[in-house]
Amino acid sequence: MSSEIGLLGLGTMGRALALNIADKGHDIAVFNRTTEVTGKFAAEAGDLAERITPCDTLESFVAAIRSPRTIILMVPAGKPVDEMIAALRPLLAPEDLLIDAGNADFHDTRRRAAEARDKGELFLGMGVSGGEDGARHGPSIMGGGPREGWDRVSSVLEAIAAKYEGTPCATWMGEDGAGHFVKTVHNGIEYADMQMIAEVYGIMRDGLGMEATEIADVFDRWNEGPLRSFLIEISGKVARTIDPETHQPLLDVILDAAGQKGTGRWTAIEALMLGAPASTIEAAVGARNLSSRLQDRKGGEAIFGPAPTRIEPAEGVLDELEQALLAGKISCYAQGFGLLSAASQEYGWDLPLDAIARVWRAGCIIRSAMLDDMAHALAVSGLTNLMFAPSFASRMTGNHGGLRATVAKAALHGLPVPALSAALAYFDTMRTSRGTANMLQGQRDYFGLHGFERLDRSGTHHGPWATNPQP
Ligand code: 6PG
């Protein structure tokens, strides 16, 4: 029996995606470097086993797939992808299609796409979001590479993708690294969304002295309103979970040092390289970095003493926190879409911002009630900033007060809120037509004769630094 598609790499995501593909009625050949993993996967596939062809060698794997072949790579990002492409290359025909569906660095995807183009091969780089459950039951899929490659496989991808009111969350984003770039920004936003929730959790725990279950109740309530999202939902579930060993809230026994595989960091790096403001995402990455400096933080507390974190509970404080998250989220997404737009220009992708918002409406980690509205707002041509779209401008107007009050209270009580602060600073900067960079320009010209523009006439000017009296 020849399979319609092949999947290589049976880690958590690979296994889930293969089962999803089989579940949608497609025969699939699978291969994993370790043969036992392949055998075990097929043995545990239950009813779906009849659609799955487990293969022991790369040769038999390639031979098991119908021509022109489509092969999905689900191997760890980086060198393993290059090694696998090199191993497959001699076995493939020119019309075969390779898809890297891991969390690749889009620069690697661009390089691989260029190599494939030179060799006359078809290569797609595809972002897949939704974790294991998403991969198994409906991920959000962000494709990049030659359109003809996408068109060849899009019916399978649309079948396995999450659906938002019946519309599949699988879209071609553009050439070469476009799909992986969109996934990277998704993850940067994911970091920021998570960090802002964690900051608000910190205010409830340390500022208001709330227990984990009370905090869970608040998240559950927020999940019924405009903040409705996967991340708020799971934050409520995480806060409500009891540790079976100590019988305390699990959150209270989890070490406060966050891991990271690197995609959020890539978003921040790329934003800095492109000169695209993404301060909320950068703050979230920085906060993860700082979280792992546990010993240093203990040392700091020993020197300075703990902050006087307790906030006098006042009526409406939880509403303020909800508003803070709403405004912070809009500010962050405005930055995220701004970054996508900057990259689109730099790399010549023509990224469809409204379609990106649509593909994030279901299946992915940042899915939320707000994304459908964002898709509508971003579809209007000429929009320069998501916050300026009427429906989001009114939300910012209505909620930035809560963000401001939250950041102010947190600052006064020594509760660190780096991502919320950055979101507020971005908003305040974006509503200030006369900023303070005139001082920077004065300083730059003073020490380096870099020149400045004047408000009252055109051209490049210098200050009379040498002739002005010095104190
Ligand atoms: C997703 C997730 C997924 C994963 C990342 C982030 O969209 O399904 O973003 O890709 O959670 O690997 O992990 P880190 O937090 O370790 O960077």
Give the end of a domain, one of 125, 142, 176.
176
pLDDT given for residue 313 in this prediction: 84
Between the CA of 148 and the centroid of ligand 1 the distance, in Å, is 28
Between the CA of 229 and the centroid of ligand 1 the distance, in Å, is 17
Give the end of a domain, one of 112, 144, 176.
176
Residue 424: domain span: 184-430
Asked if residue 466 has pLDDT above 90, the reply is no
pLDDT given for residue 471 in this prediction: 59
> Residue 135: exposed, middle, or buried by beta-carbon count in 10 A (0-12, 13-18, 19+)?
buried
Average pLDDT over residues 351-363: 98
CATH of the domain at 453: 1.20.5.320
3-state secondary structure 229-267: EHHHHHHHHHHHCECCCCCCEHHHHCCCCCCCCCHHHHH
pLDDT given for residue 467 in this prediction: 80
Structure token digits, residue 50: 């009849």
CATH of the domain at 120: 3.40.50.720
Average pLDDT over residues 31-57: 96
Ligand 1 pocket member 267 (CB < 6 A): no
pLDDT digits (tens, 9 = 90+) for 94-119: 999 999 999 999 999 999 999 999 99
Ligand 1 pocket member 264 (CB < 6 A): yes
Clarify whether residues 318 and 457 are in a common domain. no
Residue nearest to atom 15 of ligand 1 (CA): 260
Q: Report the residue among 106, 181, 190, 234 best suited for mutation to probe ligand 1: largest number of ligand atoms under 8 A from its CB.
A: 190
Asked if residue 45 has pLDDT above 90, the reply is yes
Ligand 1 pocket member 289 (CB < 6 A): no
Structure token digits, residue 360: 């994030």
In a domain, 294, yes or no: yes
Between the CA of 397 and the centroid of ligand 1 the distance, in Å, is 32
Domain count, the chain: 3
Ligand 1 pocket member 359 (CB < 6 A): no
Give the end of a domain, one of 176, 199, 232.
176
Clarify whether residues 240 and 383 are in a common domain. yes
Instruction: Label residue 469 by pLDDT band (50, 70, 90).
Output: low
Clarify whether residues 450 and 407 are in a common domain. no
In a domain, 363, yes or no: yes
Clarify whether residues 240 and 332 are in a common domain. yes
In a domain, 261, yes or no: yes
Clarify whether residues 156 and 245 are in a common domain. no
User: Which residue is listed with tokens 């009427």?
Assistant: 390
Between the CA of 263 and the centroid of ligand 1 the distance, in Å, is 7
Between the CA of 291 and the centroid of ligand 1 the distance, in Å, is 17
Average pLDDT over residues 340-349: 98
- For residues 351 and 1, what is the distance between their CA atoms, to the nearest angstrom? 40
In a domain, 40, yes or no: yes
CATH of the domain at 192: 1.10.1040.10
pLDDT digits (tens, 9 = 90+) for 122-138: 999 999 999 999 999 99
User: Which residue is listed with tokens 């995480």?
Assistant: 238
Q: Report the residue among 126, 187, 265 best suited for mutation to probe ligand 1: largest number of ligand atoms under 8 A from its CB.
A: 187
Asked if residue 89 has pLDDT above 70, the reply is yes
| Contact criterion met (CB below 8 Å) for 407 and 420 | yes
Please choose, from the candidates 436, 470, 443, the residue with its C-alpha nearest in 3D space to the C-alpha of residue 452: 443
Clarify whether residues 127 and 214 are in a common domain. no
Between the CA of 183 and the centroid of ligand 1 the distance, in Å, is 10
In a domain, 398, yes or no: yes
Asked if residue 379 has pLDDT above 80, the reply is yes
In a domain, 471, yes or no: no
Ligand 1 pocket member 364 (CB < 6 A): yes
Over the chain, what is the mean pLDDT?
Answer: 97
Clarify whether residues 146 and 188 are in a common domain. no
Give the residue numbers annotated as catalytic, written as ranges. 183, 190
Ligand 1 pocket member 187 (CB < 6 A): yes
pLDDT digits (tens, 9 = 90+) for 235-270: 999 999 999 999 999 999 999 999 999 899 999 999
Clarify whether residues 141 and 73 are in a common domain. yes
pLDDT digits (tens, 9 = 90+) for 307-324: 988 998 889 999 999 999
> Cis omega (within 30 of 0) on the bond before 94?
no
pLDDT given for residue 98 in this prediction: 98
Please choose, from the candidates 35, 37, 34, 33, the residue with its C-alpha nearest in 3D space to the C-alpha of residue 15: 37
Clarify whether residues 80 and 97 are in a common domain. yes
3-state secondary structure the chain: CCECEEEECCCHHHHHHHHHHHHCCCCEEEECCCHHHHHHHHHCCHHHHHHEEEECCHHHHHHCECCCCEEEECCCCCHHHHHHHHHHHHHCCCCCEEEECCCCCHHHHHHHHHHHHHHCCEEEEEEEECHHHHHHHCCEEEEECCHHHHHHHHHHHHHHCCEECCEECEEEEECCCHHHHHHHHHHHHHHHHHHHHHHHHHHHHHHCCCCHHHHHHHHHHHCCCCCCEHHHHHHHHHHHCECCCCCCEHHHHCCCCCCCCCHHHHHHHHHHHHCCCCHHHHHHHHHHHHHCCHHHHHHHHHHHCCCCCCCCCCCCHHHHHHHHHHHHHHHHHHHHHHHHHHHHHHHCCCCCHHHHHHHCCCCCCCCECHHHHHHHHHCCCCCCCHHHCHHHHHHHHHHHHHHHHHHHHHHHCCCCCHHHHHHHHHHHHHCCCCCCHHHHHHHHHHHHCCCECCCCCCCCECCCCCCCCCC
Average pLDDT over residues 140-159: 98
In a domain, 332, yes or no: yes
Please choose, from the candidates 352, 16, 5, the residue with its C-alpha nearest in 3D space to the C-alpha of residue 179: 352
Clarify whether residues 394 and 275 are in a common domain. yes
Angle (CA) 35-39-41 rounded to 5° is 115
Clarify whether residues 447 and 424 are in a common domain. no
Residue nearest to atom 9 of ligand 1 (CA): 187
Ligand 1 pocket member 52 (CB < 6 A): no
Phi, psi of 140, deg, nearest 5: -100, 135
pLDDT digits (tens, 9 = 90+) for 199-238: 999 999 999 999 999 999 999 999 999 999 999 999 999 9
Clarify whether residues 206 and 229 are in a common domain. yes
- For residues 89 and 122, what is the distance between their CA atoms, to the nearest angstrom? 11
pLDDT digits (tens, 9 = 90+) for 388-427: 999 999 999 999 999 999 999 999 999 999 999 999 999 9
- For residues 103 and 366, what is the distance between their CA atoms, to the nearest angstrom? 16
Phi, psi of 170, deg, nearest 5: -145, 115
pLDDT given for residue 241 in this prediction: 98
Angle (CA) 424-429-435 rounded to 5° is 150
Ligand 1 pocket member 260 (CB < 6 A): yes
pLDDT digits (tens, 9 = 90+) for 267-288: 999 999 999 999 999 999 999 9
In a domain, 447, yes or no: yes
